[in-house]
Structure 1
Amino acid sequence: MNLQRLGMILKITSGFVTALWVVGLVIGNIYLVLLAFIILLMVIPVIYVYRDNLKEIFQGDPTVIVEDERTQLINEKAATMTLGISVAVLIYVAVVVIALRNSYPQYKPWDMPC
């Protein structure tokens, strides 16, 4: 399969999986989240098979892109900042959920119907 076509399919699948789990979490439907997880489990072997060509799949022709140390430094700083923000948001959501569980005791996880 053409690497650019595979990259486009993986990008579309990633967007679809993200939309599925976000919608599933927002409306509280576990089946949508499970469907997103199953699709993700089907995509992982494809990425594993093409793991040596990931740069060509997602960036296109490697001869056109010129990458130097400055670009790598910027990417590393952006990745570090993204990870920090993600962890901070996760901690904030966890604190809110823990704080609200006393206000809404009827939503305890062990009392929820399956």
Structure 2
Amino acid sequence: MLSIIDTINILLKAIRYSVINIPFEDSSSKLIQLSCFLNPFYFINYKISKGQRLKKFLESLGPMFIKFGQLLSTRTDLMPSEITNSLKDLTDQCKPFPTKKAIKIIEKSLNITLKD
């Protein structure tokens, strides 16, 4: 279960990668579109496509979210093609997860030490 700290971390990363703005960018309301400018990172990321921003956001959150992105990339009925095409990169062009970090997570969760 997510803790409050994890939830805040996800929210901050959503703001950092301007993923939080994606639903509002195509709105017909000028007032809602104006709300995108309240995000200070919007001006850094506005040239990057929505799909690439979502891909980077999911990569920054770790393997579980990458798996979720891979699932979304196959659901063209749920997501626009611009986003699903970018998320398809998560299936074959994803950065590898560090082995040392994986070992630490396994050792911590099982309360054992793994020997090489």
Point out the structure with max Rg over C-alpha: 1
TM-score (norm 2): 0.29
TM-score (norm 1): 0.29
